[in-house]
Structure formats: structure tokens, C-alpha cells
Amino acid sequence: MKKRGVKKVLFYVAFSFVAVMGVALGLVYAYQDKIIELFVAEANKHIKTKVEVSQISLSLFEKFPQIAVSLEQVNVHEALPESEESLANAKRLYFTFSIFDVLLGNYTIKQLFMEEGAIYVKVLPDGQVNYQVFITDSTAPANEEFSFDLEQITLDQVVVHYIDQKLQQAYEVDAHYLQAALTVSNEIVAVTTNGDATIHTIRIGSGEYFKNKKINLATALEINRQEQIVQLQPSVVQVEGAAYEIEGAIGYAGTTTLDLKLNGKNTDVQSFLSLLPQNITEEFSQYRSEGDIYFNGTVKGSASGTENPSINFSFGAKDASFYHPDVKQRIDKINLTGSFTNGDRHNASSSTLELNNLTGVLNGRPFKGNLKYSNFNNPNIAFDVQGMLDVGYVLGLAKLQQVRSGSGLADVRIAFSGNLNEFKARPGYSTLSTSGDITLHNVSLALEDLPMPLGSLNGNFMFKRNDVAVSDFRGRLGESDFVINGMFKNVMAWLLLEKQRLLVEADFKSNYLNCDELLSERLNTPEAARKGNSGDYRFTVSPNVAFDLSATIDKVKFRRLKAKNIKGEVTLKNQVVSSPNISFSAVGGNFAVRGSLDARNRNHIKVSTASKLNNMSVDSLFYVFENFQQNFIMDRHLRGQLTANIVSDVYFDSQLNPKTDLLQAEIMATVRNGQLINFAPMQKMSAFVKRSELENMRFAELHNSFWIQQRTIYIPEMDIRSSLSAVPTVSVSGTHTFDQKMDYKIKLPLFNNRRPDKDSVYGVVAEDPDAGNSSLFLTLKGNESDFKIAYDNERVRQKIKTDLKQEGQELKELLKGKKPKDKEKKVELQEGEYFDFN
């Protein structure tokens, strides 16, 4: 029986529902045209701009149990003269009323639904607006059958754009699903709003706020139309999980007046940063926080194009943490109090931000500090910080692009204050006040712009205004080490501003410098390191660095050169390095130089020097300088001690490739105890000298001056006293180009009679002055692998001419009764004949 009773109830309910739906469908169908006609007529009374609609229909099911007037593809033109732009467009609009209105014949629209659309609100520079689309003073009689009395507005997937060109403000909000309930009386309009939205941007002036922030609204307000005041009841706005409670009043009679209170709840660093301009918070946007972070504040006063309200906020943190989600490093136990105010003038110039009594723990090490930032138009900054900081931990937290990683400790005790704009205008006038010091303890850094490792950094840096006194600053750069003591001047300007010069006055010491590393392009430029370049050098001198150094270096390596005991004074100014005195030991002797290196043109580096070489091993010198890029006479061919004075101008590009066509040099050289070993051209003279002697030609001393110009070495005539028994003296002159083109003139004395010479250095037979003698004039022409020794016709003719003149002079002297001198005999050959010496 009970089951049968339930079935009857369900049957009658279903029957009633179907009956009602049938009646409703019938009514809708019957009154459809009339309702649409009334809706259009009433809408035209209230809207004064053009509205485009593709289709209007009446629907029972779209907003059931309400009946809806449905508008498809709606476009409402903005209320500006001659404008065809949209104020609003939507895929669908629904205006709903009760089914009982159909029965009573009195239709009242109480709800509006807008779906998949956009609203564009504008305020032009002259204050004209585009949204005044409703007729406020209509004289048309009210329609008693159809009226608008909206109690609720629902936005579903609607983007709202607001641009105020007069105040330079712009807003863009995406309403995902937002409901506004209205209660309207003669004087009061009460509005409650609930829903979710995304604020794409809020631009006020040049600042950007709330960029891409998801919010949830639960607000309640009353609009007093007579007094023109909006009274905001305690309302909650949730941003990124944090809640902000807002209450107060907004007056809009004439100039807007604000009296608002804001109180943050469940806030963190992200929610606090979301309230600040995007350009300030962009680099911190990835950071997160935990713990108790709070703030509250007030906004009071007039807001217009010429006036700003008074803004005062207080904030702080208690036992909070701050970290980056991608790294393990974090700052723990953060405590601070802070405040922000826009000051007595209510603008940026009187604004001040303060962080007071900031304390925290970084990797188990405590630190503390304070910050004050005032006058946002002309910033004054003051801060102090103190603590032993773990460098690697700080770098991991900061995620600096310029520094990949680091390690070690930095004991920081520093205070800073000053006006940034004044400092930029007059960086050299000590406008900043900096004090304190930083001490490094075994710090290592991996820099983005320097692939070579920088490590073992220790030392103390004492700050005083714009300068830093450096004490026992030591470290390693690759294999090289350094110790610096002195003064770094204009440091703060160099660090903080563009194109400022750092001046270093210091003593520089090093145990070892590896110039191959220090000048390596692969180890000094990230691009070359990524490409794996090797063997290339890169030499540049910064225009923003100057120094005056007293340098002492134990060892230096550059390619094959290994120098020791380097000492000297070195100055850099305007990309020109100069020194009055540098000395070192190398290749078995001593080297001293004065001169300059001009790097103002990076691909045309000029090195001008005056050098003195003393007692250097010739074979070692040729080896160190890689035989001067030739294969004719090499280090294996030479022995001896070189002393020379060299004045030269040498040019290089930025990769230290010499520009040999521009090289100029004057060389005054002396070689003592020399040997010429297994030198191919000497072997060609075996017709005159024993091969065993030619294999190792010795000479006591060679002295001459050489000139280098236009890729050519010019060798004036010089006599070489050698160990060769047949030709103890050889005269040589000529030219030798950098392309190994040789043009030498050789003079060999040939003696007819000889006697032992007790004064001969090598114990050879010397020329008998009472015996006749002759000379052989030769030329050596060609290149390293293809050269010829030939009879020198020109010099023979010159010799004959000189002898004839001499014989005439002797004849005159003979007539005067003077004894004639012995004449040198010549070897006469056919012109152009070559000697094929085997």
C-alpha cells in the first residue's frame, strides 16, 4: 500500500510538472512576438546609441525557471560623436523575467546575463566619456506592461577594458564569473559582488600593478545618489591566496575623495609585491615566503589629475622565510618593521620607504641591517648591513646572471647614503657617504663573462666615500696569482654608473703569471669558450680603468718565453700603458725596457719601446721567439752571447697578430763568443775551407747596427773575425725580407803567404802584411730553400776603380820619394759566373 501511495504522488507531481511546462510553452509561443516587441520598444526608450543584434528570441530553458529574452551577437556602439567603435559586444545577452509576468501581462526585467564578450570604457583627454548610452531625461510615457528593474547582473567570460587618457590610467580585467546583486531605492543603491576574475594589468602613470593576478571578490557597498558617496562595507578581496579587507568611503561629487582602510590577512611576499609597480618587482617575482608577513594602511584625501590622497602603510615580518623555488637556499628567521608614506606633499618627491631592524639567518649565520629610500623622483638612499655572509649561499639565492656560482665567506660591515641623481651629475665630488669594510675569506667566483676561474680571494676592502683602500688582496686567476695593496679610487661611480673610470694606485706582486691563459680568447670570452676556440689571443684595454702600479713578479710565462725577477713601474691612462723602467731575466741574460703600449684602437695596437739586452744566449733567444717565423737560420745553428740596444715600433691586432708591414726598428747588437753550426750557406764554401771547419765556424765578436722597415732587415757591412783558417775575416752586408728573400754581399780575403799569428784568438794563420793578398767578392741571393752564391761584378768594378785611384795616388807619393804600400790582388772571373761549391 505504501509503495502504491508513493507511486501515485510521483505520478501526480510529474503530471503537474508536465502540465505546467506545457502551459508555459504555450504561453511563450503565444506571447513571443508581443514580448519581443515590448522589449525592443522599451529598450529604445532608454538607449540612445546604435545597437546591432543578429537575432532576438524568447527562451524558456536557457535561464530556467526564468523566461529570457535572448540577444545573439550583440554590438553596442560607444556614445561618442561619429564613432563606429564598440562600447560592448557579446556573443549572448539574456534579460530574464518571471513566468508569472506572462500570466499577469506585466513584464519586469530583473536580471541581466552577459556571456563571452568585452566592454570598452574610455575617458578622453578632455574628460569626455564613451559610456553615456542611456537616456536620462525621457519624456516618453512609461510602459506599464514592460519595464527594467535590474536586481542582478552576471558577467560570464567577459573582459573589461578601462582607459582614462586624462589621468593616464588603464585597467584590464577578465571576469570569469562575476555576479552583482542590486537593491535600488530612491536614494540608495546597494551592490554586493561575488565572483572570480583575473586582473591582466592596472597601469597608473608609468607604474604597472597586479599584473596577471587572479582575484576573488566578496564586496558590499552602498551608493548614496543624493550625497554622491559610495560607502564600502568591510569587504574582502583575495589576491594570489592572500586576503585584503577594505572598508571606507568614496565621494564622487566633483573631485573624488577617498577615506579607505586596508588590512592584509594571510599575506606573503608575493601578495605584498603584487601591490607594487611591475617594474619594481619584476626581478623578485619568482621569490616566495613563509611565515607571518603583515601590513595595513590608509588612503585619505582628494584624487584627481592634480591631487593625490595621503597614503600611509605599515608592514612587517615575524619569524618569516624568503626563498627562490628553484634553489635550496633561503633566508630564515626574518624579522623587520617597515613603513611607506607619500609624505606631506602626497607625491613621489615626498614619498619614503623604510625597513627597520631587519634581522635574519642565512645558512646558519645571522645578519642585520636597515634601509631608507626617500624622494622617489630624486632618490636618497641610506642603508647599512652587517654579518658574515656565505658567498655561495647568497649567490644561489640571488640568482645573478653575471655570477654563475661562488664559495667562501665575506665579513660585511658597511653603511651607505647619498642622492643618486646628484651622484650621477657629479660622481667625482664625493656626494656619497660610504663607510665600513668587507673582508673576504677564501672566496671563489665563476663569472659569466670570464670562463677562467677566479679563486682563493682573500683581503680587506675599507670604504671611504667614493674610494676603497685595499689591504693584502690576494687570489688566483687560472694558474696566475696576485697580491694587491693600495687605493682603488672612484670605485662607487665605476660600479654604479656608466662610463666611469676606476683609478688604481697600488703595489702589485705575483709569484707566477701565465700570460697564455690571461690573454687566451677561449678563457676570457664566453663566445670563444662555447665554440671551443684554441690558440687565439684576445687583448683589450678598458677605457674605464686606469692604474699606476709598482710591480714585482717572480715568474712569467708567455708561449716559449720564461722570464724571472720582473720589476718595474707601469701606468695605464686613456688605454695607453707606459713604463719608464721594466727589467727581468730571461734566456740566460738580462732585459730592460722603457716605452708604451697604445691600445686606443683595438685592432691597431702600437708598442713603442727602447730596450736593452745584456748577455742573452742567442740560440735560446731564437728558440723563444720561434726562430722569428723563418727556417733559414735557426736556433740549432747559433751559439753566443748577445748584447743589444733596440728602439722599435711594433703593431698588433686585438689577437696579438703582428702587423709586420708597419714594423720599424733600429738594433745595435754585439755577439761575443759566437758559433755558426752546420749552416747550409757556409757548407757551399768548402772549396776554400775545410768542411770540418765549416761545420762549426767560431767568431770572437760581431758588432753591427741593423734596421728593420717595410718587412726588410737592412744589414750594413760588417767584418766577422772567424775561426776559419783560410778566411779568418769575412765581410757581410745586405738585406733579408720577412718573406725570406735574401740579398747578401760577401767579401772573402785570400792570402798568398801566411805566418803564425800569436795574437789570433783561435790560433789560426793571420795575414802577412808584407805578402801580397787578394779578395773574393760574392753575392748570395734567393730564398731559404733556393739560393745561389755568385761573383759580385759590381763590387769588383768598384774595387778596380778604387785601386786605380789609389795607384795614381801612390805614383804621386813615389815621385815625392815615399815608399808605396802593398796592393791587394783581385781574383778575376767572368761576369755573371756562379760558384758551384761542393
Round to whole Å and give the CA distance between 374 and 383. Answer: 12
What is the distance of C-alpha 587 from the center of its chain?
42
Burial (CB < 10 A; 0-12, 13-18, 19+), residue 492, is buried
Strand-pairing partners, residue 317, are 293, 336
Strand-pairing partners, residue 473, are 484
Given a cut of 70, whether residue 281 has pLDDT beyond it is no
Burial (CB < 10 A; 0-12, 13-18, 19+), residue 694, is buried
Cβ atoms of 194 and 235 closer than 8 Å: no
Q: Range with the lowest mean pLDDT among 533-537, 673-677, 821-825? A: 821-825
Given a cut of 80, whether residue 488 has pLDDT beyond it is yes
Cβ atoms of 737 and 698 closer than 8 Å: no
Mean pLDDT of 406-415: 94
Residues 6+ apart with CB under 8 A from 662: 649, 651
Please calculate the CA angle 420-422-428 and round it to the nearest 5 degrees: 100
- What's the per-residue H, E or C state across 571-620? EEECCEEEEEEEEEEECCEEEEEEEEEECCCCCCEEEEEEEEEEEEEHHH
Amino acid making up residue 333: K
Round to whole Å and give the CA distance between 28 and 70. Answer: 13
Given a cut of 50, whether residue 786 has pLDDT beyond it is yes
Query: Per-residue confidence at 727, pLDDT binned at 50, 70, 90?
Result: low
CA distances from 682 to 637, 692, 695, 746 (A): 11, 11, 8, 11
Cβ atoms of 407 and 368 closer than 8 Å: no
Residue 139: its pLDDT value, please? Answer: 54
Given a cut of 50, whether residue 772 has pLDDT beyond it is no
Residue 564: its pLDDT value, please? Answer: 93
Query: Per-residue confidence at 348, pLDDT binned at 50, 70, 90?
Result: confident
Which residue matches cell numbers 524568447? Answer: 58
Round to whole Å and give the CA distance between 225 and 136. Answer: 14
Give the 3-state secondary structure of residue 186: coil
Residue 742: its pLDDT value, please? Answer: 83
Q: Of the spans 10-14, 51-55, 127-131, 689-693, which averages the highest pLDDT? A: 51-55
Cβ atoms of 590 and 565 closer than 8 Å: no
Q: For 610-665, what is each residue's pLDDT tens digit?
A: 989 898 888 877 777 776 666 666 767 778 888 888 898 989 888 888 888 888 88
Is the preceding peptide bond at 451 cis, omega within 30 degrees of 0? no
Residue 483: its pLDDT value, please? Answer: 96
Residue 827: its pLDDT value, please? Answer: 41
Which residue matches cell numbers 668587507? Answer: 438
The strand ranges marked E within 274-402 are 288-303, 310-323, 330-341, 352-362, 365-374, 380-390
Residue 337: its pLDDT value, please? Answer: 92
From 564, 419, 573, 546, select the one nearest 489 (Cα to Cα): 546
Round to whole Å and give the CA distance between 189 and 327. Answer: 52
Query: Per-residue confidence at 757, pLDDT binned at 50, 70, 90?
Result: very low
Residue 393: its pLDDT value, please? Answer: 86
Residue 226: its pLDDT value, please? Answer: 81
Q: For 452-481, what is each residue's pLDDT tens digit?
A: 889 999 999 999 888 899 999 999 999 999
Q: For 379-396, what is each residue's pLDDT tens digit?
A: 899 999 999 999 988 888
Round to whole Å and give the CA distance between 526 and 447. Answer: 10
Cβ atoms of 287 and 281 closer than 8 Å: no
Phi, psi (rounded to 5 degrees) for 9:
-60, -45
Q: For 505-560, what is each residue's pLDDT tens digit?
A: 999 999 999 988 888 877 767 665 555 555 678 888 889 999 999 999 999 998 88
CA distances from 604 to 339, 577, 652, 710 (A): 57, 14, 6, 17
Pairing between β-strand 502-514 and β-strand 545-558 as defined by DSSP bridges = parallel
The residue that leads in pLDDT, 451 or 771, is 451
The residue that leads in pLDDT, 432 or 283, is 432
Q: For 508-520, what is each residue's pLDDT tens digit?
A: 999 999 988 888 8
Q: Of the spans 188-197, 579-588, 781-790, which averages the highest pLDDT? A: 579-588
Q: For 218-254, what is each residue's pLDDT tens digit?
A: 888 888 878 888 888 888 888 766 788 888 988 877 7
Burial (CB < 10 A; 0-12, 13-18, 19+), residue 244, is buried
Query: Per-residue confidence at 777, pLDDT binned at 50, 70, 90?
Result: confident
Given a cut of 60, whether residue 23 has pLDDT beyond it is no
Given a cut of 50, whether residue 429 has pLDDT beyond it is yes
Cβ atoms of 218 and 194 closer than 8 Å: yes
Round to whole Å and give the CA distance between 453 and 404. Answer: 11
Phi, psi (rounded to 5 degrees) for 379:
-60, 135
Mean pLDDT of 808-831: 53
Can you give the residue ranges of every domain in the chain? 1-134+143-166, 717-838
Round to whole Å and give the CA distance between 357 and 5. Answer: 78
Mean pLDDT of 96-108: 71
Residue 451: its pLDDT value, please? Answer: 80
Answer positive or negative: Cα dihedral of 373, 375, 376, 378: negative
Please calculate the CA angle 793-794-799 and round it to the nearest 5 degrees: 95
Q: Range with the lowest mean pLDDT among 51-55, 118-122, 130-134, 293-297? A: 130-134
Query: Per-residue confidence at 761, pLDDT binned at 50, 70, 90?
Result: very low
Please calculate the CA angle 598-599-600 and round it to the nearest 5 degrees: 100
Residue 157: its pLDDT value, please? Answer: 92
Cβ atoms of 264 and 296 closer than 8 Å: yes
Mean pLDDT of 595-615: 91
Residues 6+ apart with CB under 8 A from 360: 322, 331, 332, 333, 334, 335, 366, 367, 368
Residue 420 is classified by DSSP as H
Averaged pLDDT of the chain = 78
Give the 3-state secondary structure of residue 91: strand
Residue 415: its pLDDT value, please? Answer: 94
Q: Range with the lowest mean pLDDT among 25-29, 398-402, 477-481, 632-636? A: 25-29
Round to whole Å and give the CA distance between 546 and 503. Answer: 5
Round to whole Å and give the CA distance between 365 and 727. Answer: 84
Mean pLDDT of 70-75: 90
Which residue matches cell numbers 542590486? Answer: 182
Mean pLDDT of 603-610: 92
Cβ atoms of 707 and 730 closer than 8 Å: no
Residue 753: its pLDDT value, please? Answer: 42
Residue 610: its pLDDT value, please? Answer: 93
Residue 32: its pLDDT value, please? Answer: 67
CA distances from 285 to 53, 172, 208, 213, 394 (A): 44, 20, 13, 12, 18
Percent of the chain with pLDDT over 90: 20
Given a cut of 60, whether residue 307 has pLDDT beyond it is yes
Round to whole Å and give the CA distance between 307 and 299. Answer: 13
Residue 838: its pLDDT value, please? Answer: 36
Residue 782: its pLDDT value, please? Answer: 83
Pairing between β-strand 773-782 and β-strand 824-826 as defined by DSSP bridges = parallel
Round to whole Å and give the CA distance between 134 and 137. Answer: 9
Phi, psi (rounded to 5 degrees) for 833:
-75, 135
Cβ atoms of 488 and 467 closer than 8 Å: yes
Residue 166: its pLDDT value, please? Answer: 74
Residue 755: its pLDDT value, please? Answer: 41
Residue 508: its pLDDT value, please? Answer: 95
Residue 688: its pLDDT value, please? Answer: 59
Residue 349 is classified by DSSP as G
Gyration radius of the chain's alpha carbons: 49
Residue 808: its pLDDT value, please? Answer: 59
Mean pLDDT of 561-582: 93
Give the 3-state secondary structure of residue 723: coil
Cβ atoms of 509 and 486 closer than 8 Å: no
The residue that leads in pLDDT, 290 or 19, is 290
Cβ atoms of 721 and 701 closer than 8 Å: yes
Mean pLDDT of 752-757: 41
The strand ranges marked E within 478-501 are 480-489
From 733, 591, 618, 749, select the one nearest 673 (Cα to Cα): 618
Residue 818 is classified by DSSP as P
**HSE (side-chain half, CA atoms, 13 Å) at 778:** 23
Cβ atoms of 74 and 50 closer than 8 Å: no
Nine-digit cell at 381? 638612499
Helices and strands in the chain, H and E counts: 14, 40
